[in-house]
Structure 1
Amino acid sequence: MDAARALAIVVVNYASAGLLAENLVATADAVPDARIVVVDNRSSAEERALVESLCTAQGWHLVAMHDNAGFGGGVNAGAAAAFDELGATDILLLNPDARIDARSVALLADATADGMTVASPRVEDVAGRTWFAGMDVYLDDGSMGGPRRRDREPDARRLPWLSGACLWIPKDVWALVGGFHDAYFLYWEDVDISVRAARAGARLRVVDDALAVHDEGATHRSDAQRPEAKSELYYYYNIRNRLLFAALLLDPADARAWSRSAWRNAWQVLLRGGRRQFVRPLAPLRAAWRGVRDGRRLLAQAGSPTGPAV
């Protein structure tokens, strides 16, 4: 990495001190020149004490939030600390349940050297399966697809986006887009900032030779849950925020199409948790109903003179 550049790794934590000790310590050891910023969205006094102790022992910069500002709000607070207090020129967002090695960080640094490229590594799960290698959201119906779908539907209207699980953003791009939109709270913030960055002139790039490992869902899964199980929080915000994205960034015709396909897309989100959950379906179906209801309300508000109430 160019000596004139300074990297800060920003991690937003919520009740995940154990994951920080497991993953962020390994990443920090691999990239000793990086500043480490931990944003602790408040969950409990006990968790705060654990995070404070870990940050003190490791020499990390702690941003202690007074409440839970969500992922976007947490990233914005961490980025402010990284850029304004620590003198970073670039930030690398990393989930508490993810880790990355020195070689991959160097590859991301090379890919973003022009200051106007936002980059993600290829991301694998703990079993070595590809979890992220580029993704698109399709404008006709709001569905998602990876690289293989691009080959099948080369003429489809789509918007590429990069995963916030491990995402490199230069300071110039951050300033250009104004950071994350904190109305999402959880999920879809990375889709939103990717699209806004691309529309503002930044390039989006997946660096295939760089690799991060991500234990998806570890931050929102109890020890008793099966690995594929998802929380009501996961379902609700994934379903609601698809429609919030449409309200904020799409033209009225596409937004209406997304509203019509809301239940079909909600069902696809529910299936990410496996079919066995439908033995007791109340929780996932309740989350889906609330997500569609609240998302459609935001779409309706987008047509008002003041826009969506977010």
Structure 2
Amino acid sequence: MRLSIVIVAFGGDLSPLLDELAAQRQPGDEVIVVDNAPRGDAMHPVVDRRIDLHHNPGFGAAANEGARVAAGDAVVLLNPDAVPAPGCLDALRHPPAGWDAWMAAVMLADGEHINSGGGIAHFLGFAWAGALGEPASALPAGAAPVGFLSGACLAVRLDVWRELGGMPDHYFLYHEDVDLSHRLRLAGHRFGVLPAARVLHDYEFGKGSYKWRYLERNRWATVLRSYPPALVAVVLPAMLACEPVLLVVALAAGWGRAKLQSWWDVLRWLPALPGERRAVQSTRRVGAREFAGALVAELDSPQFGAYGRNPAVRALLRLYWAGALALVRR
């Protein structure tokens, strides 16, 4: 399998990543760098094509630019701060039969602990890195399905990427990988994690309050775009009911302004969302029940802290989701 490796950069030193790619690439592979903040410096000899955008359209739009010129069998999106461990590319060439997309196991920089063993998607649209901080032994023994593919290192067959239109190019940052994974599932494509393929990721969750603005805005957009009709109908009341609570949480945590900005963003987005939803739903090949099977009710991410561990919150979410699934099955 020929890999088209697309790296979205924002300046910075790509040498550790590119040196490792030079050691692992095979004939037919290609390396495409899309730089949202080019500095005019010489590029590493392993790079086959460099696209300097001279502005910052965001991660998804830049990834789409790179994939547009790809010629391999699969597009591999690789974060600039994710370095493939030895043997990673070879493992990525051999997904299970029937899989149209897959991800590497994303490890923390020490290589001994997990950054993401596969994304976990909550029915309210929240999404987080699975098995964060756990030892490498917690990874599955072989290929396994996941809730969503981590954008730190994900691969999609090129024809499927183009069938679905790639990533949402207007999200700017965050949740693009969740949206793409939901659309893959909606269209009947199978995907998961390949634990034999590993990348070392220099991961830090905190990026300032602006990150919460994009996470919340794009969470809403992803649910409204990708959930099948019956699922939207049963999930939307819970999402609306949670918003006042989330605002209180945001204010207490210091990102209340970002939460309010996300509301304004969604309101401005509403006129365009019906058209986006029609385009996404036109690819639907699975029903709401099958789609919902990949979503969870518990908020088990460390990022939710005491709120996610609260017994009353957990019981309420499980009860609501059980009722929602019962309605969907009807």
Q: Which amino acid aligns with 2:256?
A: L
Aligned partners of 1:267, 1:102: CA distance in 2, in Å? 46
Equivalent position of 2:121 in the other structure? 137
Equivalent position of 2:40 in the other structure? 49
3-state secondary structure, aligned to 1:118: strand
Is the alpha carbon distance of 1:8 and 1:266 closer, same or farther for their aligned partners in structure 2, counting shifts above 3 Å? farther
Equivalent position of 1:240 in the other structure? 217
Q: How many residues align?
A: 258
Q: Report how far residue 195 of structure 1 moved.
A: 1.0
Aligned partners of 1:112, 1:38: CA distance in 2, in Å? 28
Find 1:98's aligned residue among 76, 79, 82. Answer: 82
- Taking structure 2 as the reference length, the TM-score comes to 0.68
Equivalent position of 2:284 in the other structure? none
Find 2:66's aligned residue among 78, 92, 101. Answer: 78
Q: Report how far residue 214 of structure 1 moved.
A: 0.8
Contact 2:92 2:197 in 1 (8 A): yes
Aligned partners of 1:107, 1:267: CA distance in 2, in Å? 45
Find 2:158's aligned residue among 154, 162, 171. Answer: 171
Q: Report how far residue 290 of structure 1 moved.
A: 1.3
1:117 aligns with 2:111: no
Equivalent position of 1:259 in the other structure? 240
Equivalent position of 2:197 in the other structure? 210
3-state secondary structure, aligned to 2:40: helix
Contact 1:120 1:168 in 2 (8 A): yes
Aligned partners of 2:22, 2:155: CA distance in 1, in Å? 16
Equivalent position of 1:192 in the other structure? 179
Is the alpha carbon distance of 1:88 and 1:146 closer, same or farther for their aligned partners in structure 2, counting shifts above 3 Å? closer
Equivalent position of 1:288 in the other structure? 259
3-state secondary structure, aligned to 2:39: helix
Aligned partners of 1:27, 1:266: CA distance in 2, in Å? 44
Structure 1 unaligned runs (5+)?
149-158, 218-227
Q: Report how far residue 207 of structure 1 moved.
A: 1.0
Equivalent position of 1:201 in the other structure? 188
- Taking structure 1 as the reference length, the TM-score comes to 0.72
Quote the sequence identity (%).
Answer: 29
Aligned partners of 1:191, 1:307: CA distance in 2, in Å? 15
Query: How large is the Cα RMSD of the aligned pairs?
Result: 3.0
Find 2:30's aligned residue among 27, 35, 41. Answer: 35
Q: Report how far residue 233 of structure 1 moved.
A: 3.3
- Which range moved further: 179-188 or 23-32? 23-32
Contact 1:121 1:209 in 2 (8 A): yes
Aligned partners of 1:266, 1:165: CA distance in 2, in Å? 29
